Amino acid sequence: MGTKSLCLFIASVLIAYYIYTPMPENFEDRWKLMLITAVFRTVEHLAGFAERLGLMHYMEALMLITVAEYVPPTSDENVTVTDTEFSNVPVRLYLPRKQSSGLKRGMVYFHGGGWCVGGAGMKSYDLLSRQTSNQLNAVVVSVNYRLAPKYHFPVQFEDAYSVTKFFLQGSVLSQYGVDPNRICVAGDSAGGNLAAAVAQQLLDDPEVKTKLKVQALLYPALQTLDLNLPSYQDNENKPILSKSLMVRFWSEYFTTDSSLREAMASNRHVPAESSHLFQFVNWSNLLPEELKKDHVYTSPIYESSNLGKKYPGFLDPRAAPLLAEDAKLRGLPLTYVLTCEHDVLRDDGIMYVSRLREAGVKVTHNHAEDAFHGALMFVSSPGELAVGHRLSNQYIKWLNDNL
């Protein structure tokens, strides 16, 4: 074998080794998903490298994916799309062109991205909002809330809440022909967190007269207390969202101080005086037996109160909706929750389903055994996956039947 052939062979082996990631047998499009995962992993490595060199913040580097995926607001024969502002917050507005004698449905949607990346203008979110608007004959408000690391909690929540409260005004609903009895909030991942938090906050706002009919939470992030749940352990290095990246997202939501991230990574960030909150995220009581597997619940290890005092946001239900009292949950609307088996956030969603049902809230829980975090975003080329189409169709069908 010549030197060139040997070098080519070695390079091919190294590339194959880098791309190959073990995938569960029930995954569709496994090789395509391996390539997508390799691309994400490469961007993460480059982001870490750039941060170590002092070139840019880690999340600023990850934001390049959002920039690459951006599409301008473009109307088509079904939907009119514009970029505008609601309550001084940028939104992308989708208005269905379908002629209808009645009023339209309404949705406020919050994109995912760990409160640090993402945007309403990303191709995947733009497509999902178009489909929702067209198929449901709904006015969709997709919110471009401010992001970390430039902005920390509660800014993201406040932007999300401000837009929702503005949209729920009678004059605004009338302007867009929206039925005040058919409105929902929805979001995926960090956006699911914001949707859940907004739905809870609306219950305490005497200025808001319009009630939500539905909240739809797609693989939501809902709690900050226990970052070593069975799902975090089982899916530590599964596609798209690893445990380490989710811990980074959580910590960046509150601060760029690495001490919080390090404490969260070791699951020793909660002060002893907040120990009563663990009753709301005790997976030994809230998860079904089949998900507990061989995991054994252990009592939390507490840290001093320093982090809790410096960054109280991670103990706030507006950032971690699973920490809400049962009395608050009882007032919530009809709920749709999507969880994915191979996702670190799986147990967040399942525990919320358990608590909502115990509080008497009607919940539809769609658990996808063959899916991973972010699956709904892979519905357009070149990263198109069959599982994304299936879950997207199920979500929109449920909304059509219930909203």
pLDDT score at 7 = 59
pLDDT score at 13 = 45
Separation of alpha carbons 169 and 209, rounded Å: 8
In this predicted structure, the answer to whether residue 8 has a pLDDT above a threshold of 90 is no
Catalytic residue among 159, 226, 343, 348: 343
- pLDDT confidence bin for 137, thresholds 50/70/90: very high
Structure-block tokens of residue 344:
């670190």
Task: Yes or no: say if 186 and 215 are a contact pair by the CB < 8 Å rule.
Answer: yes
DSSP symbol at 330: T
pLDDT score at 34 = 80
Beta bridge pairs of residue 79: 96
189 tagged catalytic:
yes
Q: How many residues does the chain have?
A: 403
pLDDT score at 15 = 56
In this predicted structure, the answer to whether residue 14 has a pLDDT above a threshold of 70 is no
Separation of alpha carbons 113 and 172, rounded Å: 28
What is the distance in angstroms between the CA of the first residue and the CA of the last residue of the chain? 66
205 tagged catalytic:
no
pLDDT digits (tens, 9 = 90+) for 253-269: 999 999 999 999 999 99
Catalytic residue among 129, 142, 189, 242: 189
83 tagged catalytic:
no
The alpha carbon of residue 296 and the mean position of all alpha carbons in its chain are separated, in whole angstroms, by: 27
pLDDT digits (tens, 9 = 90+) for 342-369: 999 999 999 999 999 999 999 999 999 9
In this predicted structure, the answer to whether residue 382 has a pLDDT above a threshold of 80 is no
Residue 127 CB neighbour total at 10 angstroms? 15
In this predicted structure, the answer to whether residue 25 has a pLDDT above a threshold of 80 is no
Catalytic residue among 159, 242, 373, 392: 373
User: In terms of C-beta density within 10 A (0-12 exposed, 13-18 middle, 19 or more buried), how is residue 167 classed?
Assistant: buried
Task: Yes or no: say if 109 and 141 are a contact pair by the CB < 8 Å rule.
Answer: yes
Contacts of 154 (CB under 8 A, 6+ apart): 313, 316, 318, 319
Structure-block tokens of residue 350:
């399942």
What does 212-273 look like in DSSP terms, one character per residue?
PSEEEEES----SS-TT-HHHHHTTT-SS--HHHHHHHHHHHH-S-HHHHHHHHTT--SBGG
